[in-house]
């Protein structure tokens, strides 16, 4: 039985859609029927007309339009998958919240057609119930493939409950400092790190210990320390909806 899939992009960079395409033939091989996607179809309305079995969301809530779009879509979709760290946690877009001149972004809204910047940039989970979280910036294609195939075939979604360190093959003596030597981490502006030894033990900041694995420590193989793009491991078992209290806080910000 074909599964009707819709994809939408909120405030993101398209990278997650690109990673979805990287799955390659497996997504076109049948089993999936794309019913709504800005990237793959000509005519799309703002609303989902066909019933959607699986809605794939990329990006964070950036505009008021994003919020109303999700609210409108919610009754028409059966399951929701948050693709990428922007959709799971807020990601890059959320960095805008940290800076006061950007916060609320008053006076930069367009007169007519433009969408208004959302007062609080956040994960779509504030406005729609999300069933599956696939973090990563973007998530590696094979994780997306395994997840979607599992969903189509009705199997449980594969679990990844280990860290990037568990996948990393660098030499280490398990005495990595938690405070940088001399009070300051080295940066990658300095000489290139030794490609064989643990970054932390060499004095470079590496987020592998705190980060959800599954990416096969790809960056580390390319001598780039982990920047934690798959999100913190402590959230792994706790991917959840916002509590009512948190929702209240968000609504307060929106007023």
The closest alpha carbon to 60, from 52, 51, 69, belongs to: 69
CB under 8 Å to 185, separation ≥6 — which residues? 203, 204, 205
d(CA 107, CA 248): 26
User: Smaller CB distance to other proteins: residue 107 or 156?
Assistant: 107
- Find out whether 109 and 116 touch, Cβ atoms under 8 Å: yes
Which among ligand SF4, other proteins, none contacts residue 206 (Cβ within 5 to 8 A by kind)?
Answer: ligand SF4
User: Smaller CB distance to ligand SF4: residue 94 or 106?
Assistant: 94
Binding to ligand SF4 by residue 235, rule CB under 6 A? no
User: Smaller CB distance to other proteins: residue 15 or 80?
Assistant: 15
CB under 8 Å to 135, separation ≥6 — which residues? 84, 85, 88, 89, 212, 229, 230, 231
Paired sense of beta strands 61-63 and 117-122, if any: antiparallel
Show the tokens assigned to 250. Answer: 């968000």
Show the tokens assigned to 103. Answer: 């916060």
Stretch of 38-46, 61-69, 100-108, 162-170 contacting ligand SF4, by CB under 6 A = 162-170
Kindly report the backbone phi and psi dihedral angles of residue 254, in degrees, each rounded to the nearest multiple of 5, phi listed first.
Answer: -75, -20
Of the residues 90, 96, 124, 208, which one makes contact with ligand SF4 according to CB under 6 A: 208
Stretch of 41-49, 98-106, 170-178, 180-188 contacting ligand SF4, by CB under 6 A = 170-178
Return residues touching other proteins (CB under 8 A): 9, 11-19, 21-22, 24-25, 28, 33-34, 38-44, 46, 62-63, 65, 92-93, 95-96, 99, 101-102, 105, 108-117, 137-138, 140-141, 187-193, 195, 215, 218-224, 227, 229
Which among ligand SF4, other proteins, none contacts residue 208 (Cβ within 5 to 8 A by kind)?
Answer: ligand SF4
Binding to ligand SF4 by residue 62, rule CB under 6 A? no
41: left (phi over 0), alpha (psi -120 to 50) or beta: beta
Least distance from other proteins to the Cβ atom of residue 116, Å: 8
Orientation angle between helical segments 141-153 and 15-22, nearest 10 degrees:
70
d(CA 242, CA 123): 10
User: Smaller CB distance to other proteins: residue 102 or 129?
Assistant: 102
Distance between start and end Cα atoms, the chain: 45
Which residues of the shown chain bind ligand SF4 in the complex (CB under 6 A)? 12-13, 15-16, 58-59, 84-86, 91-92, 137-138, 164-165, 168, 170, 172, 176, 198-200, 206, 208-209, 211, 215, 217-220, 226-230
């Amino acid at each position: 039985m074909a599964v009707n899939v819709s994809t939408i992009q909120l405030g993101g960079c398209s990278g997650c859609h690109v990673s979805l395409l990287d799955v390659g033939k497996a997504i076109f091989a049948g089993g999936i029927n794309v019913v709504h996607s800005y990237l793959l179809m000509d005519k799309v309305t703002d609303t989902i007309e066909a019933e959607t079995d699986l809605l794939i969301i990329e990006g964070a809530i950036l505009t008021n339009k994003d919020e109303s779009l999700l609210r409108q879509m919610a009754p028409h979709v059966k399951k929701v998958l948050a693709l990428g760290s922007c959709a799971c946690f807020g990601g890059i877009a959320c960095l805008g919240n940290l800076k006061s001149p950007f916060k609320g972004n008053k006076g930069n809204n367009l007169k007519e057609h433009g969408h208004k910047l959302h007062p609080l940039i956040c994960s779509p989970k504030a406005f729609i119930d999300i069933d599956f979280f696939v973090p990563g910036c973007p998530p590696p294609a094979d994780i997306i493939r395994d997840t979607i195939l599992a969903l189509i075939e009705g199997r449980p979604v594969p679990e990844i409950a280990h860290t990037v360190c568990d996948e990393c093959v660098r030499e280490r003596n398990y005495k990595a400092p938690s405070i940088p030597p001399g009070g300051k981490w080295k940066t990658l502006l300095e000489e290139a790190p030794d490609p064989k030894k643990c970054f932390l033990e060499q004095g470079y900041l590496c987020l592998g210990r705190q980060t959800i694995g599954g990416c096969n420590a790809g960056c580390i193989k390319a001598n780039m320390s982990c920047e934690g793009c798959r999100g913190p491991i402590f959230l792994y078992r706790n991917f959840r909806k916002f509590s009512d209290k948190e929702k209240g806080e968000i609504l307060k910000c929106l007023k």
